[in-house]
Structure 1
Amino acid sequence: MQNGNALIIGGGIAGLASAIALQKAGIQCDVIEIGETPVGASISISGRACEALDELGVYENCFQAGRPFTAEMSAPPMHDATGKVIGEGPSRPTWQNAKAPIGLYRPSLARILRDEAIKQGASIYDGITVRQFENHSEGVNATLSNSTFKKYDFAIGADGIHSRTRERLFPQAPSPHYAGQMSIRWMIPSDPIQGEGWFIGGELGRLGFFHMPQENLVYVPIVLNVPEQKLSQEQAYDLVAQLLDTYTAPAVVNLKKYLKKDSIFICRPFKSILLPQPWFIEHTLLIGDAAHATTAHMGMGAGMALEDAVVLGQCISKADDIQEAFNLFMQRRFERVRTVVETSLALSQHEQHGGDKKEYQSLMGNAYKEISQPY
């Protein structure tokens, strides 16, 4: 396809990256986003997803804005509840010809992608969503919440795990399901705190902490094995305090000194969905979490969204029409993301039920090997 226009519903990682890739392919993009500014937490990009950042033209900016994973950061020490080192933490393999993995502040990634999308010519509209949507064999008609009506050659649903676009296209599709664990992300304004790494063996769950030098923040990812619930900040504080009390490791005891009543916690249930293929009907395609949300156990959720965007741009450039492009996209993406979604769920179950550590590492290693292949 050459030229044309597209509506991208969702201005998160998948949507902004798609806007960049499609603009580069000659498609004029309108991006609409109803949500607010991304909440701050750390995000990791590794493996082939770094190549996707490079193809989008933003890898160097992300590298400068983040923290490169050194060999030590790639597999930080894993400790038991007493602080004894019991091995290396979850590792990110070095893949042949892949660029160096990085960790960066999520709002920084959003800003970099947004700036590049605008630079490439995309139009971005904040506080806007779809009011009426007609997906048909010739294209897409959309009436937006600001009463704007416009015709598009195709639309991309990049509106996240609770996608309204998915509901419109596939009303019978399964809903995202709870994996059995809650994620709490705690950001501490601080210089590095001694003892960073992963700590397991607490009665409620596990945690880690790592310094982010650009923002001078310590990032504390926490995973709790608890029933699904909507946590207030006060409830999150109580749960984090209870978790820290189950550890006698000196580093965790020291970490508790930073826990305050006004600490800010980002609380999310680990939910997952893998939409059966195809992810499109007529001229509308779902990508990113709208089609394949995953738990964080492989650290590949954002990476798969970035890969989606780059592959979509390639397919649009190669195909004669949108149906050919979407079919080619599905051929290249489905099995790859299924590996990530299904393996991540299996790893979550291992953590909850005390599965064999060697089997856990084998599951993760096999999945990483599979997705080490070029996208």
Structure 2
Amino acid sequence: MTTPESALVIGGGFSGTSAALELAKRGVRVDLVEISAEWGSYGAGISIGGPTLRALRTLGVLDRYLAEGAAFDGTDVLTAEGRPLAALPTPRVAGDDVPGNGAIMRPTLQRILSEAAVAAGVRAHLGSTATDLIDDGDGVTAVLTDGSRDRYDVVVAADGLYSRTRRTLFPDIPGPRYSGQGVWRAVLPLDPAIDHTTLWVGDDLKVGLNPVSDREMYLFVNENIPVHRRVPDDELLPRLGALLERFTDPRVRSARDHLSGTSLISFRPLEGLLVSTPWHAGRVVLIGDAVHATTPHLASGAGIGIEDAIVLAEELSSGGEVEDALAAFERRRWDRCAMVVRNSGRLGEIEITGGDRHEHADLMDASFTALLQPI
């Protein structure tokens, strides 16, 4: 068989939109269904490492990323008072002309990807999803929420951590596991003193600041919280401000002083999921958070999902049978994705238990080194 002629992508996040884009670039007729009425993402920043910048270059959107996001070299790790602990290198794996690290607003990255997908010919159906997938071995008939149906050579399910498709295909797989940490996020005016990723490590908190454009920066705080819980909206601002009071570095104090009701403050419990292969059943395959959702300790969750999209499109274009291509995709992705999920989880465990900081530093270094390898 040649490259599939048609594909349905379920889920319009970073992984799904990237899969739709890369398949469309290869001549596949792609429909994308996104259950939300808007093709967007919540208003927070996202850290982007060199391997993800490399993936964005493959997708053909790196220039737009560099124009609208931020790219820089290096990561500094400091104590709560601002004393240096480590300076982490960020090799330029996306090219000598591209810095090795970066960050961008999530809605901005989503817009860049979705506009590129539409320009490549992807047909997006917002406020819709698949309610039934009927795989007869030669193709998949998808029934959508509006009752319409169409037939596809392959279906790519990128419907996230709580994937309905995963529950349907593999009902015995356990759901996501709470990590014992939560992450606070906020967006602030850019401090000229923050021109690259800077992390501060306290006894039970980790604070980070990243530029996300030439005007704004992204604040995140990892907090150890034994019980999975939500924070009411009216408590977000005062509670985040109180957490930052423990850090005396002037840059963190300035960030705290600039927090306001317009800072897009959010809090999310951190959950993880790693599904053993196979990730496909017949002609339906799961990618991204649907099978390997990670905590953000390696800033690689979105990146490995975007990489999934690229590798999947490569294998489906290899000229073999669809199910053989899906199995080859899984073989190429398993070790890398499992490493990110497991090592991110271990980093969180070390932070929660107050474990060995040398192990933490060594594991981060080994993980980032592994991620530099080609996909």
The two structures have a TM-score, normalised by structure 2, of 0.92
Cα-to-partner distance string for 1:254-274 (whole Å, 9 max, x where unaligned): 333223356431222111111
CA distance in 1, matches of 2:117, 2:370: 31
> In the alignment, residue 83 of structure 2 is paired with which amino acid?
V
Cα gap change, 1:332 to 1:126, in 2 (>3 Å): same
2:220 aligned counterpart, secondary structure: strand
1:318 aligned counterpart, secondary structure: coil
Select between 321-330 and 233-242 the one with higher mean Cα deviation: 233-242
1:31 aligned counterpart, secondary structure: strand
Aligned-pair identity (%): 31
> In the alignment, residue 191 of structure 2 is paired with which amino acid?
P
Over the aligned positions, Cα root-mean-square deviation in angstroms equals: 2.0
Cα deviation for residue 135 of structure 1 reads 3.2
CA distance in 2, matches of 1:335, 1:325: 17
Select between 42-51 and 3-12 the one with higher mean Cα deviation: 42-51
Please tell me whether residue 129 in structure 1 is matched to residue 129 in structure 2. Answer: yes
> In the alignment, residue 342 of structure 2 is paired with which amino acid?
E
Please tell me whether residue 41 in structure 1 is matched to residue 44 in structure 2. Answer: yes
Please tell me whether residue 294 in structure 1 is matched to residue 294 in structure 2. Answer: yes
Residue of structure 2 in register with 1:62 after alignment: 65
| Structure 2 alignment gaps of length 5 or more | none
Residue of structure 1 in register with 2:275 after alignment: 275
Cα gap change, 1:2 to 1:193, in 2 (>3 Å): closer
1:233–1:264 Cα contact (<8 Å) kept: no
Cα-to-partner distance string for 1:303-349 (whole Å, 9 max, x where unaligned): 10111111111101103211111011011101111111111001111
> In the alignment, residue 199 of structure 2 is paired with which amino acid?
W
Residue of structure 1 in register with 2:343 after alignment: 343
Residue of structure 2 in register with 1:27 after alignment: 28
2:297 aligned counterpart, secondary structure: coil
Cα-to-partner distance string for 1:265-318 (whole Å, 9 max, x where unaligned): 122211111111010000100001111000111111111011111111110110
1:138 aligned counterpart, secondary structure: coil
| Structure 1 alignment gaps of length 5 or more | none
Residue of structure 2 in register with 1:217 after alignment: 216
Residue of structure 2 in register with 1:154 after alignment: 154
CA distance in 1, matches of 2:327, 2:230: 38
2:4–2:317 Cα contact (<8 Å) kept: no
CA distance in 2, matches of 1:200, 1:345: 17
Please tell me whether residue 52 in structure 1 is matched to residue 55 in structure 2. Answer: yes
2:274 aligned counterpart, secondary structure: coil
CA distance in 2, matches of 1:204, 1:236: 19
Cα gap change, 1:3 to 1:254, in 2 (>3 Å): closer
Select between 290-299 and 57-66 the one with higher mean Cα deviation: 57-66
1:133–1:142 Cα contact (<8 Å) kept: yes
CA distance in 2, matches of 1:179, 1:356: 18
Please tell me whether residue 374 in structure 1 is matched to residue 370 in structure 2. Answer: no
Residue of structure 2 in register with 1:362 after alignment: 362
Cα gap change, 1:373 to 1:255, in 2 (>3 Å): closer
Cα gap change, 1:45 to 1:264, in 2 (>3 Å): closer
Residue of structure 1 in register with 2:3 after alignment: 2
Residue in structure 2 matching 1:87, options 78, 85, 101: 85
Cα deviation for residue 89 of structure 1 reads 5.6
2:43–2:264 Cα contact (<8 Å) kept: no
Cα gap change, 1:3 to 1:26, in 2 (>3 Å): farther
1:204–1:243 Cα contact (<8 Å) kept: no
Please tell me whether residue 253 in structure 1 is matched to residue 253 in structure 2. Answer: yes
CA distance in 1, matches of 2:167, 2:297: 27
> In the alignment, residue 16 of structure 2 is paired with which amino acid?
G
1:84 aligned counterpart, secondary structure: coil
2:43–2:107 Cα contact (<8 Å) kept: yes
CA distance in 2, matches of 1:271, 1:345: 9
Cα deviation for residue 366 of structure 1 reads 1.6
Cα-to-partner distance string for 1:194-233 (whole Å, 9 max, x where unaligned): 46832221x552212233334x223111111112111222
Residue of structure 2 in register with 1:307 after alignment: 307
Cα gap change, 1:44 to 1:257, in 2 (>3 Å): closer
Cα deviation for residue 119 of structure 1 reads 1.2
Cα gap change, 1:84 to 1:100, in 2 (>3 Å): closer
CA distance in 2, matches of 1:90, 1:270: 24
CA distance in 2, matches of 1:48, 1:259: 31
Residue of structure 2 in register with 1:173 after alignment: 173
CA distance in 1, matches of 2:370, 2:78: 28
Cα deviation for residue 4 of structure 1 reads 1.5
Cα-to-partner distance string for 1:89-128 (whole Å, 9 max, x where unaligned): 6553444957533322211111111111111111011111
2:271 aligned counterpart, secondary structure: strand
Select between 94-103 and 355-364 the one with higher mean Cα deviation: 94-103
2:68–2:213 Cα contact (<8 Å) kept: no
Cα deviation for residue 368 of structure 1 reads 2.1
Cα-to-partner distance string for 1:219-248 (whole Å, 9 max, x where unaligned): 111111112111222232232122123233
Please tell me whether residue 100 in structure 1 is matched to residue 96 in structure 2. Answer: no
1:193–1:211 Cα contact (<8 Å) kept: no
CA distance in 1, matches of 2:27, 2:261: 51
